[in-house]
Chains A and B, each alone.
Chain A
């Protein structure tokens, strides 16, 4: 019993470390993309940019943001609710779910932050429009909580 509990603790630590490691890894990957973008932009004969600030509500849209936030909050509430059960296996599963959810939530925020803030690399109106379309698509795909559904299913 003690060995099983010790194993579970170790597994949770490993899972936490894995999740905690994935977030900085994603952040580093985003930073690398920004560096490559900067280099590509420096080679352009001229640069173009939007004179208007594109906010998250423009790129992502309030309904999608609300849907994602509600899904995460609902999943977290269910997992926290499971922590109150007397069944230790259910509690263990709930802790795993919570760790996973935290990692997913932070990952989505990091990804959205990158999508919203990475510099534009464009030299004309067409490439600027393309940039906006790609940002919108990336943000909307990134914010769909499919991973949360997968975790629960």
Chain B
């Protein structure tokens, strides 16, 4: 369900974008799910077409949805693949942590520090292979 609160300080396009992004990320909207057309969602939510169009455009730029021409907009598999890749990397990291005998809280602290520095964002980060 998408709810738009006109009294909210958050702009309506951001409310639409954030709610759709959250539902895609927590898999409420599965990969391949067909989203309503921009015009249809705008009519349902009482918003301007441009407002919903902007939300869809930003979701598309983030790789969460894809537009297949006249067939409409669908939840993209790109986000799912990225999540699977991150899961595999986490499993590798967990194996390294277990092999060197670092405790869980320390391991989490290391990851948090790496995320803060942006190191984890690098696809070439070879953490587990270096150990």
Contacts and interface: CB of A to CB of B under 8 A. Distances in A.
A91 B41 CA distance: 49
A45 B20 CA distance: 21
B40 interface: yes
Contacts, number: 65
A121 B124 CA distance: 49
A85 interface: no
Dominant secondary structure at the A interface: loop
Interface residues of A, number: 21
A117 B40 contact: yes
Interface string A86-126: 00000000000000000000000000000001011001110
A129 B37 CA distance: 20
Interface stretch (B42-50, B91-99, B102-110): B42-50
A49 interface: yes
B120 interface: no
Given A46-B3, A46-B5, A125-B1, A51 B29 contact: yes
Given A41-B46, A119-B43, A119-B44, A51 B4 contact: no
B69 to A, nearest CB: 15
B4 A52 contact: no
A103 B5 CA distance: 43
Interface in B1-34: 1-7, 19-20, 23, 28-29, 33-34
Contact of A50 (B6, B36, B37, B72): B36
Contacts of B2: 48-51
Contacts of A117: 40
Nearest to B8: A46
Interface string A11-55: 000000000000000000000000000100110111111111101
Given A125-B1, A128-B1, A49 B44 contact: yes
Interface in B60-99: 72
B36 A53 contact: yes
A120 B35 contact: no
B34 A51 contact: no
Interface of B: 1-7, 19-20, 23, 28-29, 33-37, 40-41, 43-47, 72
23 contacts: A38-B43, A38-B46, A42-B46, A45-B5, A45-B7, A46-B3, A46-B5, A47-B46, A49-B1, A49-B2, A49-B44, A50-B1, A50-B2, A50-B44, A51-B2, A51-B28, A51-B36, A52-B35, A53-B34, A55-B34, A117-B40, A119-B43, A119-B44
